[in-house]
Amino acid sequence: MNSKFLYNKGYKLLSDAVSPSEKSEAVKYLFQSSALKYPEAIYAFGRLHLDGELVKLDRKVGIQYLKDAESKNVLAATFELALASYEATTSSNLALEYYRKIKKLAALGYEPATLWINDDLISLSKCYLQGHKLFPSKPKAKALVIQAVNEQLITNIAELEEHILNFDDFTPSFYQAIENLKIELTPYDELVDIADKYFNSPSSYIRDKAFNIYKLAVEKSDSFGLLGMARCYEEGVGCQINDSEANRLYKILADNNEIAEAALKLAVRIDEGIGVSKMSESSAFYYFCKAASLDNSEAAFRAFEMLESENPPIDEVIDLFYYESYYDKLDMSEYERIKLCLLSLSCDEQNAEAHYSFAQAINELLEDTKIANSHYKIAANLGHPSASYEHALNIRDQHPKDAHHYLLNAAKGGIQAAFKQIAWDLYKGEVCIEDKDQAEFWFKKSALSGNVHSMYVLGLCYLYHHNTEEYDSAAVLWLKKATEKGSSSACYELGRCYQNGWGVDLNYLKAREHYKKAQNYNPEQVAERLKELEQLVWDFYQEYST
């Protein structure tokens, strides 16, 4: 076997080797080839001795092999020898000499030399890893990666992260250096996104890193980096809590940078007295309005609530809404105009209360039922009980079945006005499935809320639908409550109870008394009942007088 054959066999076996025995066999072939003075094998053994993985680590022997290979015109050996010497020397003159040697190789078109001259150490590392123009060396490839990271010679983080997957056992400090490089190489407009991810991390260690990244963004004139710093000062992320500094930054961002989140944050903090030792020169209401004017719906609704409950001065906020308000030309007060504008800005997709309040205000101030109804519907579909009731009333004539659905939602949400109506729907079964038991449930809810007519109807349901002593007694109880509230129809039914002994002891005198109170209910029926009662009294007298 000739030297080239031995080299190729050893090279291929080493490239495919998995087990130690296969690697040992490959080295044996390479050694035999080098012993036969094959230039590439001599160079290979120089690289192997410099690595010290498959043969004994011996720099002196490795350098000698490289020199021998260089003398046989192996460019890779010339490059490796110059590179190893450059890395080892402490003499600036010698370093310059070796540098010029590598530069000369680059000028001749030798790719690894060109990569090194251009500080493209990651591409050079790939050459070593893949055996491109160089004898394969994973240790050297890894060393070049570490050098590239430490010297910050990285231009493509994604390429680096993919390449380092080929290696194991990097130190924690190496990975930390990569993280720092990411920050350094990230465009300023992406720094805040990275910092936000750190800030929202469940790990306090990672969260604390956010502060310095926000600060770096600020140094690159990113106002949202300043917003991040304010949040860090507010919560003590990566720094000590500093309420006054957080407020100062929020104020700068609200006043100078027109950032809605900053205005909202500052408004909340002023309102809660956080970081303010005395009355702020601007009120919480002002900054809620400021954020609202910047299309923050949450702030708009907070401002509306404050306007309604605290009646703050509005002079300082009028100009904020001069261009945003749709109602400037309408004949109404500034207070009413701001109220409508705030509610309009509050109406995002999820704020049911804002849509309901807006509808109420439109009905009150503009009398525009079409717009009001559209907002009642939105609020109703978001589950707002009062809006569900109003929307049901608006569509009841045209869409009675849909109206029943909204009435039921209103009733379940505690809207007392809906109790009786939903009860009648269930009782009659015209717009929904008839359900007398559920009807009684809602009549009782209505009665308990004080509705006199529902007390009366509940009494009728108990009296005529169940036919048991227990329900008869309950019927009398509710009929009595209704009579106490002035229900003449309940008086009539209570009279019948006393006349017939339903739920009470038979008592013609009390029956007569209640019939008399029911004269306005139905005079003809009352007269007929009184006539029956007179006959019953006479029959009773006749029976016991003989």
Q: H/E/C letters for each residue in 427-496?
A: HHCCCCCCCHHHHHHHHHHHHHCCCHHHHHHHHHHHHHHCCCHHHHHHHHHHHHHHHHCCCHHHHHHHHH
Look at residue 330 in the predicted model and tell me its pLDDT: 65
- Do 447 and 474 contact (CB within 8 A), yes or no? no
- Do 459 and 447 contact (CB within 8 A), yes or no? no
| CATH 1.25.40.10 domain extents, the chain | 3-180, 450-545
- Taking alpha carbons only, the member of 382, 430, 425, 427 closest to residue 407 is 425
Q: What is the dihedral of CA 135, 139, 140, 143, to 10 degrees?
A: 170
Look at residue 310 in the predicted model and tell me its pLDDT: 87
Q: What is the dihedral of CA 484, 489, 491, 496, to 10 degrees?
A: -150
Q: How many CB atoms lie within 10 A of CB 357?
A: 25
Residue 503 backbone zone (phi > 0: left; psi -120 to 50: alpha; other: beta): left
Q: What is the dihedral of CA 209, 210, 211, 215, to 10 degrees?
A: 110
Look at residue 329 in the predicted model and tell me its pLDDT: 57
- Do 154 and 148 contact (CB within 8 A), yes or no? yes
- Measured over the CA atoms of residue 473, residue 477, residue 478 and residue 482, the dihedral's sign is positive
What is the number of residues in the chain?
546
- Taking alpha carbons only, the member of 404, 326, 331, 319 closest to residue 371 is 326
Task: State the DSSP string of 496-534.
Answer: HHHHHTSSS---HHHHHHHHHHTTTT-HHHHHHHHHHHH
* Degrees to nearest 5, angle at CA 447 with 444 and 453: 115
Look at residue 322 in the predicted model and tell me its pLDDT: 59
Where helices occur in 36-171 by DSSP H, the ranges are 39-51, 59-71, 75-88, 92-107, 111-117, 121-130, 138-150, 157-163
- Taking alpha carbons only, the member of 472, 419, 460 closest to residue 441 is 419
Q: How many CB atoms lie within 10 A of CB 436?
A: 13
Q: Can you name the CATH fold of 450-545?
A: 1.25.40
- Do 267 and 284 contact (CB within 8 A), yes or no? yes
pLDDT, tens digit only, all 546 positions of the chain? 689 999 999 899 998 888 889 899 999 999 898 999 999 999 999 999 999 989 999 999 999 999 999 999 999 999 999 999 999 999 999 999 999 999 999 999 999 999 999 999 999 999 999 999 999 999 999 999 999 999 988 888 889 989 999 998 899 899 888 887 877 777 777 889 989 999 999 999 889 989 999 998 998 889 999 999 999 999 999 999 999 999 999 999 999 999 999 999 999 999 999 988 754 567 899 999 999 999 999 999 999 999 998 888 888 888 787 544 455 556 778 888 889 889 989 988 789 999 999 999 988 888 778 889 999 999 999 999 999 999 999 999 999 999 999 999 999 999 999 999 999 999 999 999 999 999 999 999 999 999 999 999 999 999 999 989 999 999 999 999 999 999 999 999 999 999 999 999 999 889 989 988 888 887 888 888 788 887 777 666 666 665
**What is the identity of the amino acid at 490?**
A
Q: How many CB atoms lie within 10 A of CB 32?
A: 18
Cα distances (angstroms) measured from residue 474 to each of 427, 462, 464, 487, 500: 19, 7, 12, 17, 16
The C-alpha atoms of residue 3 and residue 32 are separated, in whole angstroms, by 7
Look at residue 314 in the predicted model and tell me its pLDDT: 86
Report long-range pairs for 310-317 (Cβ below 8 Å, ≥24 apart). 310/285, 312/283, 312/285, 313/283, 314/338, 316/282, 316/283, 316/286, 317/285, 317/286, 317/289, 317/290
The C-alpha atoms of residue 52 and residue 508 are separated, in whole angstroms, by 119
The C-alpha atoms of residue 492 and residue 430 are separated, in whole angstroms, by 28
DSSP class of residue 164? G
Which pair of tokens denotes residue 62? 């490795």
The C-alpha atoms of residue 218 and residue 224 are separated, in whole angstroms, by 8
- Taking alpha carbons only, the member of 392, 354, 402 closest to residue 375 is 354
Look at residue 327 in the predicted model and tell me its pLDDT: 56
The C-alpha atoms of residue 437 and residue 427 are separated, in whole angstroms, by 8
Is CATH 3.40.190.10 the right assignment for the domain spanning 3-180?
A: no
- Taking alpha carbons only, the member of 272, 282, 277, 221 closest to residue 251 is 282
Terminal-residue alpha carbon distance, the chain: 149
The helix or strand, by DSSP H or E, that contains position 319, with its residue range, turns out to be none
* Degrees to nearest 5, angle at CA 21 with 16 and 27: 70
Which pair of tokens denotes residue 469? 């002593």
The model's pTM is: 0.64
Look at residue 313 in the predicted model and tell me its pLDDT: 86
3-state secondary structure at position 275 = coil
The C-alpha atoms of residue 132 and residue 19 are separated, in whole angstroms, by 23
